[in-house]
Structure 1
Amino acid sequence: MTLPLDGIRIADFTQMMQGPWATQKLADMGADVVKIERPGGEWERFLEAGGETLEGTSPFFLAMNRNKRSIELDLKRERGQKLAREFVADADVVVENFRPGVMERFGLDYETVSEQNPDIIYVSASGFGPDGPYVDRPGQDLLLQAMSGLARYTGRRDDPPTPVGTAVVDEHAASLIALHTTMALFHRERTDEGQRVDVNLFNAALDLQCQELTAVLNLEREFERSEEGIAQAWLDAPYGIYETADGYVAIAMAPLETVSDALDLEELAEYAAADAYERRDEIKRLLEAETRTRATDDLVEALLAVDVWVAPVNDFHDVAEDPQVKHNEMLIELEHPDGGTFTTTGSPVDYSKTPATVRTNPPAAGEHTRELLTELGYDETAYKELVADGVVGTLVENDE
């Protein structure tokens, strides 16, 4: 089977989430992603989850680096930079997420690379873009949740600003990188033109909130979070999370009359539609007093029967046992680079002709050093010299 990106070579200089998750998405669709890491491996390999790793490797790294080949290069040294330029000369795409100016110091900036490889797609991912007043600031998910307003509008009225419980800005930026890399490749297929593509976390955070920003900046009113935790500052009750006798449920947009009939809660029907926003906290308290008397499964069944948009609030163990998750085959088992297996997410999108594949497991740091140098024309003597000199990191067990 030929995958959509078979034959596309990506020189991947990224680390942490914004870049690596994007390049994994491209690798799942067939791209040959060469992960160029610093000696010892990129930072994400060592990022602990609650103070723990999985057999010495971060579970975060394992989640975002399958289907890639790894080489360690010391880009602070001239010989390392020369090797990197050799990889870039043969690549279709470069993806990097260093701070602005770093790739230029390495002689790997777009202007230099495009002189050598004019049809290159050069994707630069950063916190705020390649220039502007914040160009030297650190770009990180929590900081961008704060700066973009996302944290300010999440949570209850009297709570401090509340971040989302996942790196949602990084995640959206990664999807934007994957999407717009393929768009640039499609443009090149039509025109033979390479180009630079810039993606940044600040823009991604604002893009995530397109409807909310449009509402706030164009309606002549102020929005604030509700006292009782209506899930968005601009939506009516009953939109939110409700405690049950044995857990929680989420109720989305729903006519109060329908919810009232389903739960035999006459008082709820007395709130006219015009009151659903201004009196949303009263409605939430009234409805939650009822939901707390009912088991989660029974409540979900009763509301689904009248087409109310409702769902149980799961933890990740519940998710793993969910019948739809199993039907969709969204959780997969892969081999750990140091032995054993681990469970992670698969591709979220199905193709009828060219489904995403897992061809290789996440690599050990520098696992494909010899293989990749051989492809560049380096013989065994040159390979060992580069290793001994520290230009390509150290030998790994399966590369001796």
Structure 2
Amino acid sequence: MPSAALDGIRVIDLSRVLAGPYCAMLLADYGADVIKIEQPGSGDPTRAWGPPWLGDQSAYYLTANRNKRGLTLDLKSAAGQGVARRLIASADVVVENFLPGALARWGLDYATLAAGQPGLIYCSITGYGQTGPYRDRPGYDFMIQAEGGIMSITGPADGEPHKVGVAIVDISAGLFAASAILAALHHRDRTGRGQHIDVALLDAQLGWLANVASNYLVGGEPPARYGNAHPNIVPYEAFPTADGYIAVGIGSDAQYRRFCELAGRPDLWDEPRYQTNAGRVAARAELITRLREVFAARPAAEWLAALGAARIPAAPINDIPTTLADPHVRARGQVQAVAHPTLGPVPQVGPVARLSETPATVRAAPPMLGEHTDAILREAGYADAQIDELRRTGVI
């Protein structure tokens, strides 16, 4: 195997549920040695978030914990805090998602640790960040989607607000956190100094409002819900065909003209208002009504073939089973399996980014609760008798 991009980097993962574990998993995919620390007896709450189950492991837990080693540790105990400090002393990165100030009570906050370990990179992922009037509120993906505006622009135009179908705030916060950690590692390579990274779920959600936020900041018009349509481009939405929906994204005037030609509807181009995107946006309701009649006249497969031949973006609207079975998805290695010591093959969605020299890999199944506790503690210098005593007293 080629060497991994993050070979030699050790990460202590003190996080739970999704945003933090997903961030740490991305670093593990790139080769970091990630040690996941969990509460003895219960572990990450997602271990109980089933069905579905693979054996006794929930599918949710299996989502974001591959390529890690697992250790149980009671951080509320003085002995557990001592073990954590010893492990962190050998680490480059800490990822945590406790409420602001919680870890300070145990001497595991950035200020305390960095005093003796100035190269430490410490990433805190919380609902609202380390500062501001909401800092002490717990953060949950659904609530952040509601409070952060995304639900106000998601769902049918005349229906109720909708959340995104996956925990996209958690996932995007994990992505922002991982990229910030990589930037901090580069900075440390140049200066020797670590730093504290503050990632808020609310900030992450605002960050990926992107053009929608810009539309409001520039234009002053509150964004509306458009269902599957685009606020700035027409036609760019789902259309019903004779036998099901397809997604069509006509992103330029030239594409729109080609569409009118292949549809046999020159009248839809000859109308001057329709010849520019700005005109089509202004005439959205009228034009979309006419286009829906056009698309309804032919089956989906016929439309997809014709649009593809004309280089007009269009796609079937697949369900999840169809997507995961797609031959292109499979050819890209986006569905993989990794061996588990008790469950057999564990299916996984593979790493996204392809690095030609240091590829990300799926090497190890998500750890069972405390699976690597003894090995990790021995590496840290604990004798077997000390490990036995930690176990006897419930610290591990």
| TM-score range relative to shorter protein | over 0.9
Equivalent in the alignment of 2:9: 8
Q: For residue 94 of structure 2, give the secondary structure of its aligned residue in structure 1.
A: strand
Equivalent in the alignment of 1:395: none
> Structure 1 pair 344/358, CA: closer, same or farther in 2 (3 Å)?
closer
Alignment map for 1:244-283 (pairs within 5 Å) = 244-254=241-251, 255=253, 256-269=256-269, 270=271, 271-272=273-274, 273=276, 274-283=278-287
Q: For residue 54 of structure 2, give the secondary structure of its aligned residue in structure 1.
A: coil
Residues 252-282 of structure 1: CA deviation (Å, up to 9, x unaligned): 1344332222222345333523431132123
TM-score of the superposed pair, with normalisation by structure 2: 0.93
Query: Contact 1:230 / 1:284 at 8 angstroms: preserved in 2?
Result: no
- Separation in 1 of the partners of 2:185 and 2:289? 53
**How much has 1:285 moved relative to structure 2?**
2.6
Query: Contact 1:230 / 1:280 at 8 angstroms: preserved in 2?
Result: no
> Structure 1 pair 159/74, CA: closer, same or farther in 2 (3 Å)?
same
Alignment map for 1:299-338 (pairs within 5 Å) = 299-336=303-340, 338=342
Root-mean-square deviation (Å): 1.7
Equivalent in the alignment of 1:36: 37
- Separation in 2 of the partners of 1:108 and 1:119? 15
Query: How many matched pairs?
Result: 387
- Letter in structure 2 aligned against 1:28: D
Equivalent in the alignment of 1:231: 229
- Separation in 1 of the partners of 2:75 and 2:220? 53
Residues 139-171 of structure 1: CA deviation (Å, up to 9, x unaligned): 111111112211101122211112111111111
Residues 337-396 of structure 1: CA deviation (Å, up to 9, x unaligned): 53122322111111111111222111101000110111111122211111111110xxxx
- Separation in 1 of the partners of 2:265 and 2:203? 44
Query: Contact 1:230 / 1:238 at 8 angstroms: preserved in 2?
Result: no
**How much has 1:98 moved relative to structure 2?**
0.9
- Separation in 1 of the partners of 2:122 and 2:53? 33
Equivalent in the alignment of 2:129: 129
- Separation in 2 of the partners of 1:281 and 1:338? 57
**How much has 1:106 moved relative to structure 2?**
1.8
The unaligned stretches of length 5 or more in structure 2 are none
- Separation in 2 of the partners of 1:180 and 1:118? 17
Equivalent in the alignment of 2:238: 241
Q: For residue 299 of structure 1, give the secondary structure of its aligned residue in structure 2.
A: helix
Query: Contact 1:10 / 1:31 at 8 angstroms: preserved in 2?
Result: yes
Residues 34-86 of structure 1: CA deviation (Å, up to 9, x unaligned): 001111211111112xx432322221211211110000111111111111111
Q: For residue 151 of structure 1, give the secondary structure of its aligned residue in structure 2.
A: helix
- Separation in 2 of the partners of 1:114 and 1:287? 61
- Letter in structure 1 aligned against 2:318: N
Which residue of the other structure, out of 359, 364, 368, is the alignment partner of 1:360? 364
Equivalent in the alignment of 1:374: 378
Query: Contact 2:5 / 2:359 at 8 angstroms: preserved in 1?
Result: no
> Structure 1 pair 96/220, CA: closer, same or farther in 2 (3 Å)?
closer
Query: Contact 1:153 / 1:161 at 8 angstroms: preserved in 2?
Result: yes
- Separation in 1 of the partners of 2:158 and 2:365? 46
- Separation in 1 of the partners of 2:393 and 2:316? 57
- Separation in 2 of the partners of 1:291 and 1:8? 54
Query: Contact 1:337 / 1:363 at 8 angstroms: preserved in 2?
Result: no
Q: For residue 19 of structure 1, give the secondary structure of its aligned residue in structure 2.
A: helix
The unaligned stretches of length 5 or more in structure 1 are 393-400
**How much has 1:243 moved relative to structure 2?**
2.1
Alignment map for 1:12-161 (pairs within 5 Å) = 12-39=13-40, 40-48=42-50, 51-161=51-161
Q: For residue 71 of structure 2, give the secondary structure of its aligned residue in structure 1.
A: strand
Moved over 4 A (4+): none
- Letter in structure 1 aligned against 2:82: K
- Separation in 2 of the partners of 1:118 and 1:78? 23
- Separation in 1 of the partners of 2:3 and 2:327? 31
Q: For residue 70 of structure 1, give the secondary structure of its aligned residue in structure 2.
A: strand
Query: Contact 1:337 / 1:364 at 8 angstroms: preserved in 2?
Result: no
**How much has 1:313 moved relative to structure 2?**
0.9
- Separation in 1 of the partners of 2:80 and 2:250? 56
**How much has 1:183 moved relative to structure 2?**
0.7
Equivalent in the alignment of 1:179: 179
> Structure 1 pair 337/174, CA: closer, same or farther in 2 (3 Å)?
farther
Which residue of the other structure, out of 344, 351, 355, is the alignment partner of 1:347? 351
- Letter in structure 2 aligned against 1:38: Q
Residues 75-127 of structure 1: CA deviation (Å, up to 9, x unaligned): 11111111111111111111101111111122100011112212101111111
Greater displacement, 215-224 / 127-136: 215-224
